[in-house]
Structure 1
């Protein structure tokens, strides 16, 4: 039989799903990636809540934020789709991720150096961040694996997402 030998990582992850030779590293890296992505959201979510609730009229503002996020997504999704049709996949993924990282740094700088009310923009930004980066992650994972691999390996990615 000319099959490749499974690495120690492949064998370990094979305890949880059917992992074939050479698949363990990509599955582990994707699981860590989705874990870090969701962890960043869950760390920023309480900050978002605190910023919006401490703004003047914050509790009332918060009730309108879902509508605001929906309107922003109606603008963001077609713009993202146009960008996705024009850029190579890797450049798109890196560019969008860097855009959100730069926005986060900008919010941090504004929050530490000015008294600008950041509650509403940060609340709206978090909504766009969470939807777009999570969707982008799963789209990338879907492109990376064949349907057969996805059926076997997405369980491992699910560990990272939980």
Structure 2
């Protein structure tokens, strides 16, 4: 395999490691992913346009990327300032605030999109026609989401024993 291709594959490998690390170690990342999955299920009851679906995907990506940047900032701050430092705390608080702004913005846009009377009507029709199936599925989703969110974190030294590629 040529060097540029190996380099490109190596870049993807470390990027996927970063994603996997955040999912395994950051409860808030698992919360965001669980909410995203719930939104995907709700989309089945709506007749969104391609632009609306694109907006939903963009919002997912924005919140997930913000959470990953927050994790990266916290990791670097912890590395550079292992003891308490007011400025280190401030940097972490600001990064967490940025994630909150992204998540609240995504939630507001989601509410605007999902307050469509037609979609709500279809959702209510399914609830009325198949209440056991609907509520069973909803409870199953909530139980799986809770199990995923509260799985014990695998706090480890990031990239322990791995060299940068």
TM-score by length of 2: 0.30
TM-score (norm 1): 0.30
Higher relative contact order (CA 8 A, sep 6+): 1
